[in-house]
Homo-oligomer: A and B are copies of this chain.
Amino acid sequence: MSISRGILWVTSGPSGAGKSTLLGRVLALYPGTLFSVSATTRPPRPGETDGVEYYFIDREKFEKMIEEKKFLEWAKVHDNYYGTPLAPVEEQLAKGKDVILDIDVQGALQVKEKEHPDAVFVFIAPPGIDTLRKRLEERGTEDEEKMAGRLRTARWELTKVGEYEYVVVNDDLETAVLDLSAIFRAEKCRVRRMKDMDFVKEA
């Protein structure tokens, strides 16, 4: 009996949509699922460990990996490179493990262009731009200029929702957890993903 390949969950959403909290909650329900660790050229922040939050690599190595097509997707954001190394993702999917990419819209569109057969695209949206602004203000980590930049990016990202397959509107967290969990469970019942249809073979 061959193992069905894992699902490649491609998730995006503006900063302040509550994506990390939501993904954390849903992952706790699906313990076999793995977060993909991105590579970046930005310097580690205090408390960040190489291979945990990111693979911290230098610009030269990153650009060499781009040339060698070793990224599933990559982007330059705020003068730094970010990217998803292809090899570890493929390895997990082949083992039947689901992998979550938490990447920006630019990156997601690259994955989409490649028509990765295992990919499912989920956008995590705030209920509206006003809510997003409030959440970012409450977080209080951004100065005014950065805040304006984040909101500009968010507005652009929201125009790309139509490129995704699912959208989870994170208004009430508990509802959003139920929605995203349902999407995770439902995708496992997709006919096109079923390799071992015993009920067919036996018939």
Contacts and interface: CB of A to CB of B under 8 A. Distances in A.
Interface residues of A, number: 39
B159 A203 contact: yes
A154 B200 CA distance: 10
Nearest to A126: B199
Nearest to A130: B202
B166 A199 contact: no
A12 B166 CA distance: 25
Given A162-B191, A181-B182, A182-B182, A199 B128 contact: yes
A186 B166 contact: yes
Given A130-B202, A181-B182, A203-B129, A189 B161 contact: no
Given A129-B203, A202-B130, A203-B129, A185 B178 contact: yes
Contact of A165 (B128, B185, B191, B203): B191
A194 B167 contact: yes
Contact of A164 (B154, B167, B191): B191
A129 B200 CA distance: 8
Given A123-B191, A186-B183, A200 B130 contact: no
A198 interface: yes
Given A123-B191, A161-B200, A166-B186, 19 more contacts: A126-B199, A127-B199, A128-B202, A129-B203, A155-B203, A159-B200, A159-B203, A161-B199, A164-B191, A165-B191, A166-B189, A167-B197, A168-B189, A178-B185, A179-B186, A179-B189, A182-B185, A185-B186, A186-B187
Interface of A: 123, 125-130, 154-155, 158-159, 161-162, 164-169, 178-179, 181-191, 194, 197-200, 202-203
20 contacts: A125-B197, A127-B198, A128-B198, A128-B199, A128-B202, A129-B199, A130-B202, A158-B199, A158-B200, A161-B199, A162-B191, A165-B191, A167-B197, A179-B189, A181-B182, A182-B183, A182-B184, A183-B189, A185-B186, A186-B187
